[in-house]
Amino acid sequence: MRLFKIAMLAASLLPLLPLSSYAALGGAPGVAAAAAPTAAGSQPASATTGTAPYSVRESVDANGVTVREYVLPSNVVFAVSWSGPVRPNMRTLLGSYFGNYVAAGQSGVHGSGPLVEGNGEFRIESTGRLGNFSGMAWLPRLVPAGVRPGDLD
């Protein structure tokens, strides 16, 4: 009987767990984002030439966090940005670069201020307070020529 109660509790909590519908940085775009982009997210980003150097895919997770994936024509996510009432699951969002995020958070004293760290391999800018979190992470080596990460949002 006790096992049954535990199973019922776990099943009732499953819908409350956020499901990751976005890709990891450096990987292919997320399935949900590719399947149902928003009207803004389905259009390629503007560029100075006739061909856009990247496209933007946008999704909203179960917690109301908007995640934008910046995708190269080779179908690789070179940057991600987020905004919402909570931070997204950073381990899922950053994928193999999560260790860089952890290291960036441990370097120096940040207190409650913004996190702006990185190197030639990985950059992150993250800020937030209760109910309002936002940030961006990108891979400098993959950013298309002529594109500034600060202009992506």
Which residue ranges make up each domain of the chain? 19-151
Q: What is the pLDDT of residue 108?
A: 58
Q: What is the pLDDT of residue 74?
A: 93
Say if CB 69 and CB 25 are below 8 A apart.
no
Say if CB 104 and CB 88 are below 8 A apart.
no
Per the DSSP assignment, residues forming a β-bridge with 118 are 123
Per the listing, tokens 């996510």 go with 77
The Cα–Cα gap between 85 and 31 comes to 23
- Note the Cα 104 to chain centre separation in Å: 16
Q: What is the pLDDT of residue 24?
A: 83
The Cα–Cα gap between 4 and 58 comes to 39
> Which amino acid is residue 43, in one-letter code?
Q
Per the listing, tokens 């179908």 go with 75
pLDDT in tens, the chain (153 residues): 554 444 444 444 433 334 444 568 888 887 444 333 333 343 334 333 346 799 999 999 999 999 999 999 999 999 999 999 999 999 999 999 998 888 877 765 555 568 888 888 999 998 988 899 999 999 999 999 999 998 886
SS (HEC) of 53-82: CCEEEEEECCCCCEEEEEECCCCCEEEEEE
The Cα–Cα gap between 117 and 101 comes to 8
